[in-house]
Chains A and B, each alone.
Chain A
Amino acid sequence: MINLASRDVLHGWGKFLFTGIGLGLLIGATLTMGGVFRGMVDDGQVLIDNSGAELWVVQQGTLGPYAEPSSLRDDVWRGIAGIEGVAETGNAAYLTIQMAHAGKDTRVMIVGIEVDRPNRPGAPPYLTAGRPILQGHYEAIADERAGLKLGERVKIRRHDYTVVGLTRRMVSSSGDPMIFVPLKDAQEIQFLKDNDALVNERARTAANPAFNRPGVPGLLEAAQASATQAKSVNTVLVRLVPGADPARVANEIQRWKRLTAYTKAQMEDILIAKLIATSAKQIGMFLVILAIVTAAIVAFIIYTMTLAKVREIAVLKLIGAKNRIIAGMILQQALALGVIGFLVGRLAAGLWGPAFPKYVLLLPGDAVAGFAIVLSICALASSVAIRAALAIDPAEAIGG
């Protein structure tokens, strides 16, 4: 039996192809939306994975350090390091800032890490160029998406930093590229006030009678000195000894140190389930709307294509073609349109995805699921046209 669908498609291939391309661009937008969501999840995942930590110790009762502010003294690691099962600790400070670079503002996450030895928790696990931070101050490792070059000097708040290393896919949960600097510098960037504020604060403190009590010499100086010290970090990253139970160690830290400790699974839950939950719902809504729009467009296209063949369908029915042959022709054309649309859409998403400011991750599994959904939508949408075709009276071929 002749395949009527393929013959019809080949007969008007130009129109069919352009229709498929138009549909494909819409499918491409849908796939990209899905890719944006996957990118957000992946950003959260790489943030967790690349930190090299198995536990995150944060200020009690907070969801820090990524989802909520958290402040810890930078010496609490000593007590944590003594708990059974803890192999290594690393203080870390995180701060998202707007950095002026190459004449434009770039949003980056400043990460303060301990640089006394390599591979401390928090340090980037690999470099694509350059070397690790070796000096205690004013050196930086930047993610490639920050747009910095090796050896370039960049101003972050008060100081200039030399980019000594580059890394890749080190981003915040919002997709902002990370710039790693020594912990002391990050503490200053985050916690130290500017000079005007310090002068102002000193004057206020000096005017406070509580700090000028007779018989307590040095109190005012001590209070003023504390205002210029940055001794806080956002989290202590903990690496465990092999075989240690993360939940048990987290429990021990919470119990004895009055801090909150999160395991990797809990941190994934915070970053992926909680932090991006609203965005995920937003994107989900968009995907649903785009799926409905796609279905409506496919239905309209197939319906219009079918109505353009009323006479041919009437003739087919008159000369004895069974309903399944006619329905099969329309269904196959709808599916062919879906296949063309999907291929164009996947190609388009792959081409324009990297141009998006945020990471767009197109997973093969999502593509397979998307393909199945597109075909399902096309099959569903063709039912309207099939219904119309089956209602065509063969007498229309005779006229009268």
Chain B
Amino acid sequence: MFNLIWKDLFIQKKLILLYLAIIGLYFWLGTPLFWLAFITSISFIMNAFYYDEKDNINILLNSLPYTRKQIVTSKYIGAIIFTALFIGVIAGGSFIINGMESPFSWKGVLQTFGLVMAWISLIFPFFYKFKQQYLVIGGIIFFVIAMLSFKAVIHLLKERFGEVVQWFIGLSDLQLYSSASLVILLLYGGSWLLSMRIYERKVF
């Protein structure tokens, strides 16, 4: 199964420079590290998914000695591994440029994982359910939202949901992060099971 995860990296080997360039650009723009890691990880994961759909790769994979469970599982485990890789690269890059001034904090790491996993939990079952054209549309929408929304979302949260945010802020970091982690882990597990069920029934 790790062959399948390695495959997702391998098929994008020519894009790795592009990803590094994007990371450099965002450094220059001063984007928060956790947000940068989130965007690059998601782009990478979704792009691998898109390649598989575009070229009938599901027919190939399902004809090779892999089970459908393994094929889905490789995407869910791969997502975590690739996110960790991007966090590593970005943290390394940040250290080289800024030294220890504004490092990738453990909170930032958790935020990135949380966002990636939440996003995947919601989006993967749809991807498995629907066809390629929806994937492209979904990808474009994601990018537009990701570009525009970061500050707007924070602003909106502060304005409209002040009380909720206050309540959250009232929680200690430990309480906040551990409960959020738990929720996201449950969501991720549920999504994984759902995707497997959808994929098992898929016809090629």
Decide whether A and B assemble into one complex: no
Residues of B in contact with A (beta carbons under 8 Å apart): none
Residues of A in contact with B (beta carbons under 8 Å apart): none
